[in-house]
Structure 1
Amino acid sequence: MKNKSIRIMLEQYSISIEQLVNHYNIGIGLDKNLLITSQIVSTAGLLDFPCRVNAFVMGICQKGELSITVNFKEWKINKNTCFFSIPENIIRIEKISDDFEGYVIVVSEEYIKDINLDMTKILSYYMSIRINPHFYIDEEDATSVVCFFDMAERALKDKNIQWKDEIVKGVISVLIYKVFGIMEQYEQKIEKPKTKSKEYYFLKFLELCSKQFHKHHDIGYYADLICLTPKYLSTVVKDVSGLSAAEWIEEYIINNAKNQLKFSEKNVQQISDSLNFSTQSLFGRYFKQRVGISPSQYREGYTSLKTTEKLI
């Protein structure tokens, strides 16, 4: 019952990049997959309630102080501090100083894959970011990171730039790898899971699930690959993340189905096939049991919402 309540809450307060750009007018966006802003003080009030941003968030503070909660735990962000959030996190801006300066970039998982970033590398930092979503860097590294943020923002703002998409992808790619490189330098401060620990098995499961959920829905498949029993794997995943292995698989399937229903031109049968359901009716029942409405109703509702927003 508790996990069901959490899922309902996350669905209620879930915000996409597209909504942040088009509805809340935050920052500069590129399609539905990328947002960057340096105007954090003026827009902070729009995120003063707990919500989940369906993307990876990365930022840096150049001046002032920002107080945020991540999964209801408060963190203070000061000068030369990088901060992160992963898609499942519930975040809220509690307080921000008037003199705050910094950048925030919001990137979808699809965009990360599109620019050929190594998702395995990102997942290797999952537990560290989950436990401690910020870390301090020295002045020289901070200046370098800010330079790439600035380059990305300038490229997005320039309406006359040729090859904009390619340039932005290149800058974002370099920026993310730059931050990873700095994190490697601070690796003695980063808590990494020990081999065969619960966290280690959880990361292995998450890595496999993120790549193969559209083909394999059975816990036993992943348990065999990790050399654990399905029961033990589910217990380990639940202990580490608060959700069972089955619930993680469901999250991947349902989120992917929603994205396809929202943004692709595939029909329901094609979406069902892409997620390896034996029949469209089985996919429809699976979706409705977890979302409360059928795939077609979900698509119709989203299409109606987009039409209403355009009229407004």
Structure 2
Amino acid sequence: GFKPEAFSNITTYAESSVGLSLIKADGQIVPRDGLGHAVNFRIRYNVHGDAGQWVAIDNAFITFQLAAPNPPTRLTVQLLRDRVDVITDVVKVDWVKDLTSPGDGIEIYVTDYLGKKHTVYSSNGSETEARIENVSRFVVQDTGPAVAQPYTFSIVATNLSAKSAETMASAPLNITSKVKEVAPPTPDEVAGTAVDVNYATLKANVFADVMSALGSLPAEGQSIVDALVLKVKDVVRLGGSVDLQDFGVVTAKWTKERLARNPSTGAPVVVPAYRSLGFSPSIGFKTGTRNGTILTDAQAKALP
């Protein structure tokens, strides 16, 4: 059943001006264990002996916050293994709990050399040491060689309600940084045959090949390449396709009308069909690229 509890009115002008009333229990309602408790209330006003009607408040969730525990008295860190390329670092951490109010658990942080703090270990167990791996993962160098940087360790004690102040390790650890992985070169890059060519260079190369074959050509002959490219674009933009012998088919493709949802409102909307671009390489182009040579379609089909 219900039992009486003494409350004090702590409503200020700020709350009363918006129609709120604040009250504070003068005694302890739930156990001070840091856990949540469901409590049923009945509240009524009593102004100078004029009592109002009882108002029920069911299943009010109340937590009596625990006081913060005392911080661990000591934190010691030791670098057992430094990072070497993809082999990660390992750090041993030892701590001593406070004897009076140790809390229920601990959290260990590392602050990198850029000043950012990261949680690297947490536990509600009774252990007083741990091994933490890959501390240097938080900051990655773009290029080598890898450089050792300082990392500062700290620890707090925790309970269900709060955390203690931090206890710092006596000195930072210098740990070798991780370096961004670089994809190994392809066989073509190793051989030096892989070349990236822009449009201007491509036109100049084609013009040089034509000059070598014909002996002479006006300078404006390079516009032939422009005309070819523009013609392909013109055909495809109108929904057609261009079949380039021994190269492939450049074609316009239409999507299907589909249902979707407006990302802002969630309302269903119809996404109309639209034209997109497709390219299907010919068998000669595909096989020649795979074999590292130039093949016509007929030559590719004749291969065993």
Rg comparison, structure with higher value: 2
- TM-score normalized with structure 1 length: 0.16
**More strand by percentage:** 2
- TM-score normalized with structure 2 length: 0.16
**More helix by percentage:** 1
